[in-house]
Amino acid sequence: RKNQIDYKIKVIQIPKSRIGAKLVPLHIQDVTDKEQYELLKLRKMSQDYYRNKGEGRPTKKDRREMDDYVGNDIASDFTDWDDFFGETDNEEENED
């Protein structure tokens, strides 16, 4: 078992003496189910999508992808946050 996948290997021939790692594939055959490789592919794709925990703030590319997903119309409405929040602060001060 490696990377949460059960590999199945069939030994074709047992060598007479010790051999190097490069020669091992000559003596074995991989008989792992195709479903296991599909699971590996799905896990790999899902891991690549998410950022590792504690990795920090989004990169510029991540931020652009998020803006595209949310929509630029929403982001463009509030580009000047000081003006947006400044008006409400001034109105509250005048009421006192």
pLDDT in tens, 35-90: 888 888 888 777 666 666 657 777 788 788 888 877 765 555 555 556 655 655 45
Q: Do the Cβ atoms of 78 and 84 come closer than 8 Å? A: yes
Residue 29, φ and ψ in degrees, nearest 5: -135, 130
Residue 36 identity: Q
* pLDDT surpassing 70 at residue 17: yes
Which pTM was predicted? 0.41
Can you give the length of the chain in residues?
96
* Residue with the larger pLDDT of the pair 85 and 5: 5
Q: Which residue has the tokens 């510029």?
A: 60
